[in-house]
Amino acid sequence: MLALWRNSRVRGWIFQLVALTLFLYFGWSLWDNLQTNLASRGITTGFNFLNTEAGFGIISHLIDYSESSTYGRAFLVGLLNTLLVSVLGIFLATLLGLLIGVGRLSNNWLISRLALGYVELIRNIPLLLQIFFWYFAVLRSLPSPRQSVNWGELFFLNNRGIYMPAPIPEQGFGWAGWALLLTLIGVVLLFRWAVRRQHQTGRIFPRWRVSIGLLIVVPLLVLALQGFPLSWELPALKGFNFKGGLVMIPEFMAILLALTIYTASYIAEIVRSGIESVNRGQTEAARSLGLTHGQTLRLIILPQALRVIIPPLTSQYLNLLKNSSLAAAVAYPELVSVFAGTVLNQTGQAVEVIAITMGVYLLISLLISLLMNWYNHKMKLVER
């Protein structure tokens, strides 16, 4: 018996068996308790509640939604709002983070100190506090609609949000979209041709400038030919509030501002360490080969820096997505606020609601990680 115990493989098996039994027993007892508790409290189970009428309004929705819509619809509204704020936040935070990260490396002492100050200040203050600051201290204390800040009668800023002109496409606007699509295909072909020609003859075609120019000019030309079939709906003060136009509500602005500013401080450090990781000799070698400053950056530094930057950047993007759930604190109707908040309170089906909410975040996290892993794999150093 003692000999068996001294055998590390046997001991491993025993250990695993015990762990598995404990794990299963733990899971089973949780499940059992859940069943008894649900039964004794008279809580219904199952996912049928998704088809029943929600009966509450949501202040901001990207798809049609009214009080008579279902809980399932409310879930979709929340999910879309989460995605909207995350995608915009990721885009803006990357821009700002890039700017500050490059600023950290500037050889201008003042700029690099300021960038360092930004990073150290923002990183060490809780995100929730920043959201509250933007929402309660800044945006909600703006003037009322009647005393809005007015920019050329087009943009109005007040405590109900920022109002801007909304584009209204008219007959024939669709053609511009088709033109854009066709140009996009053309640009892809142009790129292929330019790369092939460069490989064969060594002549360089200014592909970026030409394609960006094409992408702007062609759709505009199509619009101009039809006499610009697009009108703008201007916001106007009617009674106590503005009507018409596009509106960005303060809840949305607060969470977007806070997420952007907070995440940018992390992205800046990632960008800085990525660029610093590229050996200085690389720059010197590239310059001695006659590459210009821009080419050195684009062809030599960035591809190598990106390899270091991508993995932590991905986790920052995922953090931003997860942090967007803090919008619940200022009642911006995103997934957690709508679904794990209002819907849970109304239906009382905590288990299903929390499981769906967590499942959605898990799924998105998993998808983004897969995507980034694929990209990472593509960018990997190909060694001889």
Partner 1 sequence: MVWLRRNLFSTPFNSGLTLLTLYLLWLAIPPIVDWLFLQATWSGESRAACEPNEGACWAFIDARFNQFIYGLYPSEAQWRVDLAFILLGVLFAGFFIPGVRRSWIAVLILIPYPLVAWILFSGGSWGLEEIDTAQWGGLFLTLVIAGVGITASFPLGILLALGRRSNLLVIRSISIGFIELIRGVPLISVLFMASVMLPLFLPEGVNFDKLLRALIGISLFQAAYMAEVVRGGLQAIPKGQTEAAESLGLGYWRTMQLIILPQALKLVIPGVVNTFIALFKDTTLVLIIGMFDFLGIVQAATTDPNWLGTAVEGYVFCAAVYWLFCFSMSRYSVSIERKLDTGH
Does 379 participate in binding partner 1 (rule CB under 8 A)? Answer: no
Structural contact between residues 305 and 278, judged by C-beta atoms closer than 8 angstroms: yes
Structural contact between residues 142 and 340, judged by C-beta atoms closer than 8 angstroms: no
DSSP states of 61-93: -SS---TTSBHHHHHHHHHHHHHHHHHHHHHHH
Q: Which amino acid is it at 13? A: W
Can you tell me which residue has the tokens 């003042």?
110
Does 108 participate in binding partner 1 (rule CB under 8 A)? Answer: yes
Does 191 participate in binding partner 1 (rule CB under 8 A)? Answer: no
- The region of 131-139, 155-163, 168-176, 190-198 touching partner 1 under the rule CB under 8 A is 131-139
Does 15 participate in binding partner 1 (rule CB under 8 A)? Answer: yes
Q: Which of 59, 195, 358, 371 is in the footprint of partner 1 by CB under 8 A?
A: 358
Can you tell me which residue has the tokens 């919008």?
327
Check the CA dihedral 160-162-164-169 and report its sign.
Answer: negative
Q: Which of 88, 102, 128, 180 is in the footprint of partner 1 by CB under 8 A?
A: 128
Does 170 participate in binding partner 1 (rule CB under 8 A)? Answer: no
Does 340 participate in binding partner 1 (rule CB under 8 A)? Answer: yes
Greatest alpha-carbon span in the chain:
93
Integer Cα distance of 15 and 25 in angstroms: 15
- The region of 49-57, 133-141, 169-177, 301-309 touching partner 1 under the rule CB under 8 A is 133-141
Q: Which of 207, 287, 307, 322 is in the footprint of partner 1 by CB under 8 A?
A: 322
Does 136 participate in binding partner 1 (rule CB under 8 A)? Answer: yes
Does 40 participate in binding partner 1 (rule CB under 8 A)? Answer: yes
Can you tell me which residue has the tokens 């059992």?
32
Does 287 participate in binding partner 1 (rule CB under 8 A)? Answer: no
Q: Which of 78, 323, 333, 342 is in the footprint of partner 1 by CB under 8 A?
A: 323
Q: Which of 10, 59, 224, 351 is in the footprint of partner 1 by CB under 8 A?
A: 351
Structural contact between residues 153 and 245, judged by C-beta atoms closer than 8 angstroms: no
Q: Which of 129, 188, 221, 299 is in the footprint of partner 1 by CB under 8 A?
A: 129
Does 329 participate in binding partner 1 (rule CB under 8 A)? Answer: yes
- Determine whether 282 is exposed, middle or buried from the number of CB atoms within 10 Å of its CB (0-12, 13-18, 19+): middle
Does 2 participate in binding partner 1 (rule CB under 8 A)? Answer: no
Question: Measured from the CB of residue 362, what is the shortest distance to partner 1 in angstroms?
Answer: 4
Can you tell me which residue has the tokens 């929390």?
354
Q: Output 241 or 315, the one with its CB closest to partner 1.
A: 315
Q: Which of 127, 222, 257, 338 is in the footprint of partner 1 by CB under 8 A?
A: 127
**What are the residues facing 158 on neighbouring strands?**
161
Structural contact between residues 275 and 101, judged by C-beta atoms closer than 8 angstroms: yes
Residue 134: helix, strand or coil by DSSP?
helix
Does 36 participate in binding partner 1 (rule CB under 8 A)? Answer: yes
Which secondary structure element, helix H or strand E, spans residue 366, and what is its range?
helix 350-379
Does 224 participate in binding partner 1 (rule CB under 8 A)? Answer: no
DSSP states of 8-61: HHHHHHHHHHHHHHHHHHHHHHHHHHHHHHHHHHT---SSGGGGSB-----S--
Q: Which residues bind partner 1 (CB under 8 A)?
A: 12, 15-16, 19-20, 23, 29-30, 33-34, 36-38, 40, 107-111, 114, 120-121, 123-129, 132-133, 136-137, 141, 322-323, 325-326, 328-329, 336, 340, 344, 350-351, 354, 357-358, 361-362, 365-366
